[in-house]
């Protein structure tokens, strides 16, 4: 299995190393693997898992909810239904936020059009 360093993982994911360290500190990256010198190392599976955490964070899921997801992952298959429900509910929240943002963007576009029209007279 191929491993990469924290700097390589951060570069692949487009996030700062400090974000990875913060996620580990918050319990989102349990059982972190380390090399013989004690440096964090990341397998492809760990990077894939970190991508999921990033997706959830980017869609405004609170850290405490992500931590719940991680805890359920560690518990195993008995929590699959809970994880599915969590993702379904989060998807609905994301869709509602997208709808709100789309509506708000339309209002901003109207304002831009008014100002542009006013200045072109």
Residue pLDDT, tens place only, 85-118: 999 999 999 999 999 999 999 999 999 999 999 9
* 85 class by beta-carbon count within 10 Å (0-12 exposed, 13-18 middle, 19+ buried): exposed
Checking if the pLDDT of 33 tops 90, the result is: yes
**What stretches of the chain show up as alpha helix (H) in DSSP?**
6-13, 17-25, 44-58, 63-75, 80-119
Average pLDDT, the chain: 96
What pLDDT does residue 50 have?
Answer: 97
Whole-number Å distance between alpha carbons of 104 and 109: 9
Handedness of CA 25, 30, 34, 38 (dihedral sign): positive
Structure-token pair, residue 4: 């990469």
What average pLDDT does the segment 70-97 reach? Answer: 98
What pLDDT does residue 121 have?
Answer: 82
What pLDDT does residue 40 have?
Answer: 95
What pLDDT does residue 46 have?
Answer: 96
Checking if the pLDDT of 1 tops 90, the result is: no
55, 98 in Cβ contact below 8 A? no
């Amino acid at each position: 299995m191929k491993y990469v360093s924290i700097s390589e993982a951060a570069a692949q994911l487009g996030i700062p190393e400090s974000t990875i360290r913060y996620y580990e500190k918050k319990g989102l990256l349990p059982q972190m693997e380390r090399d013989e010198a004690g440096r964090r190392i990341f397998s492809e599976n760990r990077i894939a898992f970190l991508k999921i955490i990033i997706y959830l964070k980017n869609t405004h899921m609170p850290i405490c909810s992500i931590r719940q997801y991680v805890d359920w992952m560690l518990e195993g298959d008995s929590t699959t239904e809970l994880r599915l429900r969590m993702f379904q509910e989060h998807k609905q929240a994301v869709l509602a936020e997208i709808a709100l943002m789309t509506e708000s963007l339309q209002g901003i576009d109207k304002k831009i059009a008014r100002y542009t029209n006013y200045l072109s007279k």
